[in-house]
């Protein structure tokens, strides 16, 4: 039995997210179906992060335990030959049996893309926000760097022991008519990046005060009535491990 690590890219627009669901197509379910096509058995696949419905990835990581005579290149090609065209295995390597895509991860990177003009051809991969105040966005982005309880900016879950995350980088960068938010952290809670992006955009629009944002970070509360950015602008770009 070998443990293999996959690096994946996918367009999440037609999926209910990473995690297998009772109804709807999931990335995890698509991978497990592809394994079944190849080997005649379903293999459990574990991901580094449970991306939401409609969220994309360029660097999602997954692992699985598999007893096969195929080398990694042949297995990668076989998987891609049985996956839908909106999911691709970019890399496949053998790793230590102790490796776990989720629990071994040290740092996760996300990018959120906002478009400030009315160009429509990338509307499935950006949020058409109109003009933004980059100075205010970056002032808000700097507030979350460090170790904070993000209860105010996450969907409630009884499964979590705590809701603290360490944010290493948080910055907005302008690239022509597209403004990208870059954030990395040791972990992210359910809907967390989308709540943060939505709230920061509301600050930029003058609908929420910076002091209110800081208060929600410094004194977290549940069930806050804040804006959540739509999923299509969000991309999981990379996951780091202690290799």
Instruction: Supply the residues annotated as catalytic.
Output: 52
3-state secondary structure of 8: strand
* Token output for 159: 């499964």
Give the separation between CA 103 and CA 239, rounded to whole angstroms. Answer: 11
Tally of CB atoms within 10 A around 33: 15
What DSSP assignment string belongs to 139-170? Answer: HHHHHT-EEEE-GGGS---TT-S--EEEEEEE
User: How many Cα atoms within 13 Å fall on the side-chain side of residue 18?
Assistant: 20
Instruction: Work out the angle at residue 118's Cα, subtended by the Cα atoms of residues 180 and 130, and round it to the nearest 5 degrees.
Output: 55
Q: Is 81 exposed, middle or buried (0-12, 13-18, 19+ CB in 10 A)?
A: exposed
CA distances from 149 to 165, 175, 198, 215, 220 (A): 6, 31, 18, 12, 7
């Amino acid at each position: 039995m070998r443990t293999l690590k996959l690096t994946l890219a996918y367009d999440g627009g037609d999926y209910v997210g990473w995690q297998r669901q009772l109804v709807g197509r999931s990335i995890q379910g698509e991978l497990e179906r592809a394994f079944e096509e190849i080997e005649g058995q379903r293999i459990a696949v574990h991901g580094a992060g449970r991306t939401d419905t409609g969220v994309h990835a360029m660097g999602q990581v997954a692992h699985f335990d598999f007893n096969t005579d195929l080398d990694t290149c042949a297995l990668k090609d076989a998987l891609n030959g049985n996956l839908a065209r909106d999911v691709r295995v970019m890399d496949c390597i053998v790793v230590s049996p102790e490796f776990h895509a989720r629990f071994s991860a040290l740092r996760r990177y996300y990018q959120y893309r906002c478009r400030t003009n009315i160009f429509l051809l990338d509307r499935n991969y950006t949020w058409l926000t109109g003009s933004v105040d980059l100075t205010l966005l970056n002032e808000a982005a700097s507030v979350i760097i460090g170790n904070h309880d993000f209860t105010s900016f996450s969907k409630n879950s009884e499964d979590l022991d705590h809701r603290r995350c360490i944010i290493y980088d948080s910055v907005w960068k302008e690239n022509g008519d597209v403004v990208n938010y870059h954030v990395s952290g040791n972990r992210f809670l359910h809907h967390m990046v989308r709540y943060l992006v939505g709230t920061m955009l509301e600050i930029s629009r003058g609908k929420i005060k910076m002091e209110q944002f800081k208060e929600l970070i410094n004194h977290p509360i549940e069930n806050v009535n804040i804006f959540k950015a739509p999923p299509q602008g969000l991309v999981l770009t990379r996951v780091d491990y202690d290799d």
